[in-house]
Amino acid sequence: HGRCHVENRDFDFIIVGGGTAGLAVATQLSRALPYECVLVIEAGPDGRDEPKIYVPGLRGSTLGGVYDWVLPTVPQAAANGRTIPHNRGKVLGGTSALNLLVWNRATVKEFDAWEELGNPGWGWKNMYPAMLKAENFQRQDGIAQYGNDGVGYGGPVQVSLVENPPAHVQACIPTLGNLGLENNLESLNGHSIGAEYQPAMHRVSNHTRSYSVDYLPRAGDNLVIMFNSTVHKVNLDYDWRGTKATGVTLVGGKEIKAKKEVILSGGSLLSPKILELSGIGQKAVLSKAGIRQIVDLPGVGENLQDHLRIQTSYELKPEIPGLDVLKYNTTRAAIELDLWRRSQTSLYQYSGSCYGFLKWKQAIGNDEKLLRLAHQSVDWSNPVDRKKLSLLTDAYSGAPDLEVVFGDGYIGTKGYPAKGTPGHGKNYATLLGGVQHPFSRGSVHINGPDPATKPIIDPKYLGTAFDLEATIQAAKYLRKMATTAPFKDLWVSEFDPGLSVETDAEWETYVRNNVFTFFHPLGTCAMLPKKNGGVVDPELRVYGVQSLRVVDASVIPMIVSAHIQTAIYGIAERAATIITDQYRW
């Protein structure tokens, strides 16, 4: 078109944040509305030529670096005052450029819960096809790890099962089988309970990360991206008739107009910040920060939910090959990277893991204590809590309570042992446990009027009696997995926490010192009725403001039992359909 140019002062749509959801919604709008100009404003650089991003085996190496916002929580009282860092992508693709590649899906009843919480059209019936649109499932030769149902074809994000899992990952299905969990070959079809290999966002042709930037080749030339540009706030016009978003102001003062809409896709820890800096939010938060309130919206930055994670780790027998060798042996790492570059079998192409999803009863037998604590931990006035409780107590909900992961390499909270310390030069397997529906609910708010200041993040980890006990039970179940064949025959010693940890009190201490995040913060601009703390309506429009939507993980009303990117792509796809229907003539 040529008429849509990055130097323009006005666009039809401005998308704030070129991340996971942002690039998906922007691309789909540009295709469906070819006569409109769509601008994506991304705070970070392009990054598509960065090996640390596109080599699957280098995943994790960007955390804490230049492509990461690094947003720490405030000290978490119930986690012994520890601060837990939240990594967030500050680069094209957002957090999909930094994440650990897991591609899985939550269950039918959980998406139906979103709908039942007051959001017509957001149940499984609509979310499932929207999620499938994002993906292209690739079957590799000779891989029988997945069946047929539950995967999509023809979408931009390339997903596949990964060849040659290491021995300790291969032990997953038989070990969980010996604990009574059946192999589930179609775990992405809304019924995830079982033991399963799941796809990774991995392009088979050249073994690279596939992520939200893979939407862009499908975009029209009416889509324009502005890099290294941070939005300070949304510009609002307001009078007695109401409030309307008219564009954005960048850090540095430049203003850009949006003739139709501003769409916030800054992610769950940064979209609330943009709303608050614009004067949309809770009175007390805004006045403390010295921001004049324009729209009173108490839900902004509240309802923060996340998956609780705990892990145990095992030093592998010397004859079991592991992936930590890439950390301690630079010569071997260089050889493997060279093999990867020449498209030959390499440790750097490996990007998968194997999982179990369970109800508590399957994991621990007697779940009475946990259910009792759940009843005590619920905020009965909160519909989201009541929904979580009903999924937890319904033995037939099909919504798992516990996720376990057979991870490759050392991924404990201490970090891989430094050179010269005990444990260096060894290979490890890490088992991870995730509590799927914790009851603690936190918040994220601005810390003053300066857009350069990081937000105050308080997830209140382990903040309820249920959350603490559930995390302890998760940790104990990991030990049970580790001591079950065939996994038990692969290791020589338990590195974290160490087999001396046995009593309930010892496990509690371990959990408080090591509880971590699965990096799934969400819910901070929740799609809920306003009276229930909602920030956006079922069309993702911010209450009380015309022409302003939020499209990212912030709108998720209730956390679901899966890694959340498939749900985020589904949200972006649905948002694009909703917006297009409004503007197509």
Residues that bind ligand FAD (CB under 6 A): 16-22, 41-44, 63, 87-90, 94-96, 98-102, 230-231, 265-268, 270, 274, 519-520, 552-553, 563-565, 568
Instruction: Identify which of residues 378 and 405 has a Cβ nearer to ligand FAD in the complex.
Output: 405
Which residues neighbour 75 within 8 Å (Cβ) at sequence distance 6 or greater? 81, 82, 83
Q: Is 92 annotated as contributing to ligand binding? A: no
Q: Is 102 annotated as contributing to ligand binding? A: yes
Phi, psi of 468 (to 5 degrees): -65, -50
Rounded to the nearest whole angstrom, what is the least distance from the CB of residue 78 to ligand FAD in the complex? 22
Rounded to the nearest whole angstrom, what is the least distance from the CB of residue 520 to ligand FAD in the complex? 6
Across 4-73, the runs of DSSP E, i.e. the strands, are 10-16, 38-41, 71-72
Rounded to the nearest whole angstrom, what is the least distance from the CB of residue 369 to ligand FAD in the complex? 31
Closest of 64, 173, 474 to residue 308, by C-alpha:
474
How is residue 204 written in tokens? 């088979």
Closest of 374, 429, 415 to residue 165, by C-alpha:
429
Closest of 197, 178, 229 to residue 18, by C-alpha:
229
Q: Is 275 annotated as contributing to ligand binding? A: no
- Looking at residue 217, the DSSP 8-state letter turns out to be G
Q: Which residue number has the CB closest to ligand FAD?
A: 19
Instruction: Identify which of residues 231 and 478 has a Cβ nearer to ligand FAD in the complex.
Output: 231
Q: 283 exposed, middle or buried (CB, 10 Å; 0-12, 13-18, 19+)?
A: exposed
Rounded to the nearest whole angstrom, what is the least distance from the CB of residue 483 to ligand FAD in the complex? 27
Instruction: Identify which of residues 17 and 301 has a Cβ nearer to ligand FAD in the complex.
Output: 17
Instruction: Identify which of residues 229 and 377 has a Cβ nearer to ligand FAD in the complex.
Output: 229
Which residues neighbour 433 within 8 Å (Cβ) at sequence distance 6 or greater? 309, 310, 311, 402, 403, 404, 405, 471, 474, 475, 477, 478
- Label the pairing between strands 38-41 and 10-16: parallel
- Label the pairing between strands 157-160 and 135-138: parallel
The residue type of 245 is: A
The Cα–Cα gap between 286 and 302 comes to 14
Rounded to the nearest whole angstrom, what is the least distance from the CB of residue 299 to ligand FAD in the complex? 17
How is residue 444 written in tokens? 């994220």
**What is each CA distance from 577 to 216, 298, 572, 580, in whole angstroms?**
17, 28, 9, 5
Which residues are bridge partners to 138 per DSSP?
Answer: 160
Q: Is 231 annotated as contributing to ligand binding? A: yes
Instruction: Identify which of residues 151 and 472 has a Cβ nearer to ligand FAD in the complex.
Output: 151
The Cα–Cα gap between 55 and 60 comes to 10
Which residues neighbour 223 within 8 Å (Cβ) at sequence distance 6 or greater? 4, 26, 27, 30, 38, 40, 216
The residue type of 581 is: D
The Cα–Cα gap between 308 and 258 comes to 39
Instruction: Identify which of residues 166 and 267 has a Cβ nearer to ligand FAD in the complex.
Output: 267
CA dihedral 215, 220, 223, 228 (to 10 degrees): 50
Instruction: Identify which of residues 77 and 251 has a Cβ nearer to ligand FAD in the complex.
Output: 251
How is residue 283 written in tokens? 């009175």
The Cα–Cα gap between 577 and 360 comes to 38
Rounded to the nearest whole angstrom, what is the least distance from the CB of residue 338 to ligand FAD in the complex? 26
Rounded to the nearest whole angstrom, what is the least distance from the CB of residue 293 to ligand FAD in the complex? 20
Q: Is 101 annotated as contributing to ligand binding? A: yes
How is residue 147 written in tokens? 């069946």
How is residue 567 written in tokens? 């749900």
Instruction: Identify which of residues 88 and 441 has a Cβ nearer to ligand FAD in the complex.
Output: 88
Phi, psi of 387 (to 5 degrees): -65, -45
Rounded to the nearest whole angstrom, what is the least distance from the CB of residue 312 to ligand FAD in the complex? 20
Enzyme catalytic residues: 520, 563
Q: Which residues are annotated as a binding site?
A: 91, 95, 99-102, 231
Q: Which residues are annotated as a binding site for FAD?
A: 91, 95, 99-102, 231
